[in-house]
């Protein structure tokens, strides 16, 4: 695990690197036009992990009432296995706690064992399956949810 990184709000200036990572990490990457409204929407929270002067990873979520939905989490292959993914997930969990969420949920490819282990270590549990959810290649999505303890909810 590295200690030489910072988690900061994702900004428009960071999008060129984020778009590179989107293409590297996802078969159907988001476009600049998909990201832009998310960065200014108060229902969203987007974070970047900065290391060695560059965006090493990023993550984002959207909230609806007391529900949280993680949209994307990506870490550059050059920075994997150094704690960036866990730091991003935990930062979104803390933000969800501040917002008084009941739960935080995400979809992950069934075959993405590393990501599934990361989410399990962060306290997410399997709650369902979305058959054929992903394209290129077609694959089922595992629905995973993190439930906030009742006593931790904001009033």
Residues 8-26: pLDDT tens digits?
999 999 999 999 999 999 9
pLDDT interval class at 155 (50, 70, 90): very low
The CATH code for residues 5-152 is 3.40.630.30
Is residue 87 pLDDT above 90, yes or no? Answer: yes
ω into 137 cis (within 30 of 0): yes
pLDDT of residue 52: 82
pLDDT of residue 53: 82
Residues 90-109: pLDDT tens digits?
999 999 999 999 999 999 99
Please state the pTM of the whole predicted model. Answer: 0.91
pLDDT of residue 5: 86
- Which residues are designated catalytic? 107, 119
pLDDT of residue 4: 79
| Residue 154 DSSP symbol | -
Is residue 2 pLDDT above 70, yes or no? Answer: no
pLDDT average, residue stretch 66-76: 96
Residues 107-153: pLDDT tens digits?
999 999 999 999 999 999 999 999 999 888 899 999 999 999 875 45
| Residue 99 DSSP symbol | T
Structure tokens of 75? 């870490």
Alpha-carbon distance of 32 to 35, in angstroms, equals: 5
Burial of residue 74 (number of CB atoms within 10 Å: 0-12, 13-18, 19+): buried
Alpha-carbon distance of 90 to 31, in angstroms, equals: 25
Query: Where does the chain show beta strands of DSSP type E?
Result: 5-9, 44-51, 54-64, 67-75, 103-109, 125-134, 139-147
pLDDT interval class at 3 (50, 70, 90): low
Structural contact between residues 57 and 84, judged by C-beta atoms closer than 8 angstroms: yes
Burial of residue 69 (number of CB atoms within 10 Å: 0-12, 13-18, 19+): middle
């Amino acid at each position: 695990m590295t200690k030489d990184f910072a988690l900061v709000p994702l900004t428009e200036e960071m999008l060129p690197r984020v778009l590179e990572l989107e293409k590297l990490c996802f078969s159907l990457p988001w476009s600049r036009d998909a990201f832009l409204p998310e960065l200014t929407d108060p229902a969203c929270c987007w974070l970047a992990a900065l290391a060695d002067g560059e965006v090493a990873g990023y993550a984002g979520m959207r909230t609806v009432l007391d529900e949280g939905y993680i949209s994307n989490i990506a870490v550059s292959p050059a920075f994997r296995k150094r704690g960036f993914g866990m730091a991003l997930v935990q930062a979104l969990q803390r933000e969800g706690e501040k917002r008084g969420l009941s739960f935080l949920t995400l979809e992950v490819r069934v075959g993405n064992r590393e990501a599934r282990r990361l989410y399990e270590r962060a306290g997410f549990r399997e709650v369902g399956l979305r058959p054929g959810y992903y394209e290129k290649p077609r694959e089922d999505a595992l629905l995973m949810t993190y439930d906030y303890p009742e006593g931790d909810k904001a009033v």
